Amino acid sequence: MKNAIVLFSGGLDSSTCLAIAKAQGFRAYALSFRYGQRHEVELEAARRVAAHLGAAGHLVLDVPLGTIGGSALTADIDVPKDRDVSHMDEGIPVTYVPARNTVFLSLALAWAEVLPSADLFIGVNALDYSGYPDCRPEFVAAFEAMANLATREAVEGRLKISVHAPLMRWHKSRIIEEGMKLGVDYGLTHSCYDPTPQGLACGRCDSCLLRKKGFEEAGVKDPTRYSE
């Protein structure tokens, strides 16, 4: 059984991604980050879901993206609400966090060398998304190419790093359908960018709107607890 590392926020996408890695036969380790996100409550969801899905381990790392700022998720900038879900990928909104997936994958790569694991999973999606550049297939391919030149285990031929993005070309509804087949309890997951202190979802940020649309289109009752 091979090890995989799954970037894991405890949201809808990364929870599905972890279930997929397990279904593909990997021993799946979850990797989460406390990066100064205003929705740090997602880390509680991450712990719940990692246990629910039977992750082989769950590492939470502190990363100072809040010190760098430049995003509505880590600095004192309002999270946009009620945007048009069918045009969300036109332009990159202020919820974009500078170089976030690059930083997260880099730390996953460091762990991969030690664990060891040749397989990194990331739940990015370039269909129902906010247009973030580091969610696109060309980014994932470029990161993988770089990773295989960056590390001792790759250069010495012991690991050929693969970055898997199984959700890349799925609509949110399909992500939900596949996850439900694999037994993901989406009621445990957290996607909202701007939750109440109790962890209730706002229902109006990009992440909530995309998630709502996914449940609607999948014809599945939305288990999310909203604040209004």
The reply to whether 202 sits in an annotated binding site is yes
- Kindly state the tokens that stand for 214: 């996914």
Q: Binding string, 76-115, against its own copies, x = CB under 8 A?
A: ----------------x---xxxxxxxx--xx-xxxxxx-
168 binding its own copies? (CB under 8 A): no
Residue 15 CA: distances (Å) to CA of 55, 83, 88, 188: 10, 25, 22, 10
Q: Which of 137/223 has CB closer to its own copies?
A: 137
Q: How many other CB atoms are there within 10 angstroms of residue 131's CB atom?
A: 16
* Binding status of residue 68 toward its own copies by CB under 8 A: yes
Q: In the complex with its own copies, which residue's Cβ is closer, 136 or 211?
A: 136
173 binds its own copies (CB under 8 A): no
What is the DSSP annotation of 151-167?
Answer: -HHHHTTS---EEE-TT
188 residue type, one letter? L
Map tokens 């205003």 to a residue.
38
Token pair belonging to 178: 């596949």
Contact between 227 and its own copies by CB under 8 A: the answer reads no
**Is 227 known as a binding-site position?**
no
| Alpha carbons 50 and 81: distance in angstroms, whole number | 29
What letter would DSSP give residue 40? T
Cis omega (within 30 of 0) for bond into 80: no
Stretch that binds its own copies, among 19-27, 133-141, 203-211, 214-222 (CB under 8 A): 133-141
What is the nearest approach in angstroms of its own copies to the Cβ of residue 124? 12
CA distances for 37 relative to 63, 73, 76, 92, 224, angstroms:
10, 5, 11, 18, 20
**Closer residue to its own copies (CB): 51 or 92:** 92
Residue 12 labeled ligand binder: yes
Site string for its own copies, 24-63 (x = CB under 8 A): -----------------------------------x-xxx
End-to-end CA distance of the chain: 45
Determine whether 85 is exposed, middle or buried from the number of CB atoms within 10 Å of its CB (0-12, 13-18, 19+): middle
What residues between 136 and 165 interact with its own copies by CB under 8 A?
136, 138-139, 142-143, 145-147, 149-152, 154-156
| Distance from C-alpha of 182 to C-alpha of 184, rounded to nearest angstrom | 6
- Closer to its own copies by Cβ: residue 93 or 195: 93
Does 127 bind its own copies (CB under 8 A)? Our answer is: no
Binding site for its own copies (CB under 8 A): 59, 61-65, 67-70, 92, 96-103, 106-107, 109-114, 132-134, 136, 138-139, 142-143, 145-147, 149-152, 154-156
Q: Binding site for Zn(2+): residue ranges?
A: 192, 202, 205, 208
